[in-house]
Structure 1
Amino acid sequence: MNKKILSILALAGLGLFATSCADEDLGPVVTFDTAGKGAYVRLLEDNGNLLVNLLDLSQSEYVYSVEFVDLEQGDLVSEYRIDLVYQDRNTDNGDNSSGPNEIMSWSASEFVESERGFKSVMDISITPDDLFRTAGVDASTVKAGDRFVVKGTLTLEDGSTFTADNSTAAVNGSAFAGHFDFVLSAGCPSDLTGTFDFVGSNFWCGAADNTGSVTINALGGGSYSFSDWSFGAYPACYGGNAAGWGTLAFTDVCEEVSFTGRTDNYGDTWTFTSSLSDDGTEWTINWVNTYGEAGTGTVINPAGWDFVLAE
């Protein structure tokens, strides 16, 4: 029987369930005292904006507030410093990676007291200009995928220093809200999800053109998948859809779309060519795979597709 039909008729699967019991040998929840003595940076709040938006740098400011935890509520801390490590992930024009280089620092005289009575620094602002200046790069050279790693250091009055590298996993974990290090990633916001009408045509089996709807699902990181990569061909030719689509995917990088996943769950490789209509409302995708199947899907977005296609 045809391998596609086997999968299309692939019937109900089995559900597996598991239960677990509490482990009576587990110790109590870890505390700062049991995790070890020293000091760490605790996040109080931030604006959640960890994206350096290459389409709108003015909206890329990261703002956060922290307090310092030690045996005397931060009184042992003499300095809080943040350094930058720039990781250039697009090295076509050479590797511009740099760091660590200091972004800014605060001494004990500049600390304020948080509501809980800990020494703190409030409303720290890191802008793209701060990042580019510290990294020694021009904004035009920064590409999607580049990373700005901010690394915090606490220096105590006795000269000892504490960072993420010499702190325990517990302190760096979510339970303590540790905020020594964080990453600001260069990229662009992307949301192409939704359900859209399509017209399917040119099916290899000779079936008539058809219409339907297809859903674009987000895979994360600007990567997406169609709910039906055949655009109606499998239902028309086999009587049902595929059980899965393997790694088939397309990616939106700063409003430029390209097909990045090309192998289905049967091991066949797919090739795509696509174009946008003059008014930008119709995205026509021609596909063919190494199993001999082929077709065309025209996906319609009345609001217009807000991207260009990679060459």
Structure 2
Amino acid sequence: MKKYKILSMLLALGFFVGACKTEMIEPIDLDALETGGYVRTVTPYPVGASTFNYSAADMAGTKMEFLAEAVTPNKGADFASYELVIKFVDATPANGTKTTAALPLKVLQASSFTKDATTGYPRATITVTGTEALTATKLTTSDIAVGDRFEITGTMKLTNGKSFSISNTGANITGGAFYSSPFFYRVNVIK
């Protein structure tokens, strides 16, 4: 009887081991996967709705500024440019309604970025002055008031023709704390 128990257990173990055996499935070809890129905001960190401000009283002397890093799988080698567009949102109708469409602001070529010694990715300080914002939106200081805002949207272009912006990038990249790549910068008009 003892032999039958041992034989039964060995037979069950054999079936169990045999049932777990699978065919080798073709592994994922990681080199064939689509890849992209993003422009990470290094400082200030994190970027929020109240991170950047323009002073309505001193538009000529105020600016929005951040340190940006172009991240691609090959350390930014296929990064071509970072294009910025700007939109003015008039939230104070007392001085008229001057909300604009998205208008071209500036294009930063990859050549204006410098490889960072620590990360190996290209970095640049991106600055948009109050005067640049007014010029791009064709507004004057009398058109803006405390409570209004400028919205700056970025698009990363790669040398292979692909482009990445807030509209085709996932929430993990645009809203995640690790990647810090909103592709969108809100500049509030304050006193």
Instruction: Indicate the SS of the match to 2:166.
Output: coil
Q: Which has the higher helix share?
A: 2
1:73 aligns with 2:75: yes
Instruction: Indicate the SS of the match to 1:133.
Output: helix
- Which of the residues 149, 160, 163 maps onto 1:161? 163
Q: Could you tell me which runs of 5 or more consecutive residues in structure 2 were left unpaired when the two chains were aligned.
A: 1-33
In 2, Cα distance between equivalents of 1:95 and 1:180: 26
Aligned residues of 1:84 and 1:149 also touching (Cα < 8 A): yes
- 1:114-172 alpha-carbon deviations (Å, 9 max, x no partner): 23111222x22211101111111101110111110010101111111100121110001
- The within-5 A match list for 1:1-311 is 37-46=35-44, 50-57=52-59, 60-115=62-117, 116-121=119-124, 123-173=125-175, 174-188=177-191
In 2, Cα distance between equivalents of 1:138 and 1:40: 33
In 1, Cα distance between equivalents of 2:95 and 2:43: 38
In 2, Cα distance between equivalents of 1:126 and 1:109: 18
- 1:72-125 alpha-carbon deviations (Å, 9 max, x no partner): 11111111111101111123454211131121112223221123111222x222
In 1, Cα distance between equivalents of 2:65 and 2:112: 18
Q: Could you tell me which runs of 5 or more consecutive residues in structure 1 were left unpaired when the two chains were aligned.
A: 1-35, 189-311
Aligned residues of 2:65 and 2:126 also touching (Cα < 8 A): yes
TM-score, length-normalised on structure 2?
0.72
Aligned residues of 1:46 and 1:62 also touching (Cα < 8 A): no
Q: CA RMSD in A?
A: 2.1
Deviation at 1:42, TM superposition (A): 0.3
Identical-residue share of aligned pairs (%)? 21
In 2, Cα distance between equivalents of 1:59 and 1:110: 24
- Report the count of equivalent residues: 152
- Larger deviation, residues 41-50 vs 149-158: 41-50
Deviation at 1:59, TM superposition (A): 5.1
TM-score, length-normalised on structure 1?
0.46
Letter in 2 for 1:165: S
